[in-house]
Structure formats: structure tokens, C-alpha cells
């Protein structure tokens, strides 16, 4: 397992590369590859939906796959497909785990879409203090010891606008794939939309969630959207020893 301090350094937006997390593409018997995801705090985490789309695009960039793949994640098997390419942008379709059941708690929805999420619907999401409210819910005794990711969702036409507070990052992130998926499933339930595509806008861009209601749960769930390579390079991990973000410095 990589050193959590090194991962936190790599993800640091001032002293490292900067990112909401680190994804490792590993060998995995019986699969095209395995995906391992770490939050920005350096700790291994549960499934990352947008990270899943990115790792499919990365495997395609490395010529490890030919447009389609099957890979293993912490929550099980996923399929990925490159449905379009334009320059450094790949449009990726990613299968998500079935959601066999979900809970409603005082008007909120609790779902596990590979990571645990709470979805709360609101009238004007942009007016919400996502960091303060999200942190309060994430740390509530009800969701301990692991905590929960918190999504604030607002209906926009036939779709949603979603903002998310992510545990491990301990901040609002511009887009959360498993959170977008959870929000779309909750919206499908309250709007009686049993199957189809729900468009979701986040501060980081637009995604589509494909779904089919199956009893009290959902199957045939796919997360669709762009994955853009913005940089590639090499970093020497020995630099960690002289980083101001290294607690031992």
C-alpha cells in the first residue's frame, strides 16, 4: 500500500500535483486492469465514478484496451467504453453497481452507488453553504464511523443540478460521479421515471446517468461523460523528502 503521506502530498494543490484523489491502474487477474482509489487525505477509499471514467480513458491512452474494457474496482466489476474521441477528450460510458435498496431519512435519501451518499433536494442549491452543511452531515453520529458523502440536488427541467461535499477530500468537489449517480436515482424515484437518461449538471461539467428501476432498486446504471487529459509527466517521489508539506520536514 502506498504511503498515505506521499499520496496526500501528491494531491496537495500548492505543494504537489494537485487533485481530489489518486487512482492506481493495477494488474488484475481475469480483467483488463484493476482500479485502486485513494482520497486526497491519502487513505484508500470506495468507488469513484468520475475516476472510473478517467481510468478507462487513461487505459485507452496507454493502448492497454481497444475502446472497451472490463476492470475490477473495490465495489466489484465494471465495464467501460470509449464512445467518442476528440483530441485529448474521450467520452466514456461506465457501468455502475446495481442499487438493490435505498433508505429515506427525514426527507433525505441514503444510497450506496459504490460509495455511500446522502441526497438532499433543495430549491436553490447555489445559496447553500455546501462545506458547512455538508461537513455537519458527514460527521453526524448517524453515519459514523465511516461518514457519508453529501449531495445537494435541485431539479433543472428533466434533470438536476448537484453540488457535493466529499469525505476524504473534506470539501466541496466540482463533480462527484457516484454522487451524481445517487442523486439521479433519488430523482428517478420521486419523479416516477422508471428508466431512461437523467442529465445532471455539476460545477465541473455535465454528465448523464442511464438507469432502469427494478422493484425498489435500480439496475442497468451507467455514468456517461467526458474525460479530458490535461497533463502528463513524471514526478520523483524522492522530492517528498524536501517538501514543505511533508510533516517530517
User: Which residues are designated catalytic?
Assistant: 48, 176
Picking from 54, 38, 34, the residue whose alpha carbon sits closest to that of residue 46 is: 38
Residue 146: count of CB within 10 angstroms of its CB: 11
Angle at 170 between CA 209 and CA 109, to 5 degrees: 45
Separation CA 171–CA 27 (nearest Å)? 31
Which DSSP letter does residue 19 get? Answer: -
Separation CA 185–CA 101 (nearest Å)? 11
Backbone angles phi, psi at 210, to 5 degrees: -95, 135
Which DSSP letter does residue 44 get? Answer: B
Separation CA 25–CA 27 (nearest Å)? 7
Cβ atoms 118, 110 nearer than 8 A: yes
Amino acid at each position: 500500500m502506498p504511503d498515505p503521506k506521499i499520496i496526500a502530498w501528491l494531491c496537495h494543490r500548492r505543494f504537489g500535483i494537485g487533485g481530489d484523489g489518486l487512482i492506481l491502474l493495477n494488474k488484475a487477474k481475469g480483467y483488463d486492469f484493476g482500479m485502486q482509489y485513494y482520497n486526497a487525505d491519502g487513505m484508500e477509499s470506495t468507488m469513484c465514478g468520475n475516476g472510473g471514467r478517467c481510468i478507462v480513458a487513461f487505459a485507452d491512452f496507454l493502448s492497454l484496451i481497444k475502446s472497451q474494457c472490463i476492470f475490477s474496482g473495490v465495489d466489484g466489476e465494471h465495464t467501460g467504453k470509449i464512445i467518442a474521441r476528440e483530441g485529448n477528450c474521450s467520452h466514456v460510458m461506465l457501468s455502475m453497481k446495481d442499487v438493490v435498496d435505498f433508505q429515506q431519512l427525514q426527507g433525505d435519501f441514503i444510497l450506496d452507488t459504490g460509495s455511500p451518499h446522502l441526497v438532499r433536494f433543495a430549491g436553490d442549491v447555489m445559496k447553500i453553504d455546501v462545506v458547512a452543511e455538508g461537513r455537519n452531515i458527514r460527521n453526524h453520529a448517524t453515519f459514523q464511523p465511516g461518514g457519508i458523502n453529501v449531495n445537494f440536488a435541485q431539479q433543472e427541467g428533466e434533470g438536476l443540478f448537484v453540488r457535493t461535499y466529499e469525505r476524504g477530500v473534506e470539501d466541496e468537489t466540482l463533480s462527484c460521479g457516484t454522487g451524481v449517480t445517487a442523486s439521479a436515482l433519488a430523482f428517478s424515484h420521486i419523479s416516477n421515471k422508471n428508466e431512461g437518461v437523467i442529465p445532471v449538471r455539476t460545477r465541473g461539467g455535465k454528465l448523464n446517468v442511464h438507469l432502469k428501476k427494478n422493484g425498489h432498486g435500480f439496475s442497468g446504471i451507467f455514468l456517461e461523460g467526458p474525460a479530458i487529459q490535461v497533463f502528463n509527466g513524471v514526478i520523483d517521489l524522492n522530492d517528498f523528502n524536501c517538501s514543505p508539506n511533508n510533516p517530517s520536514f
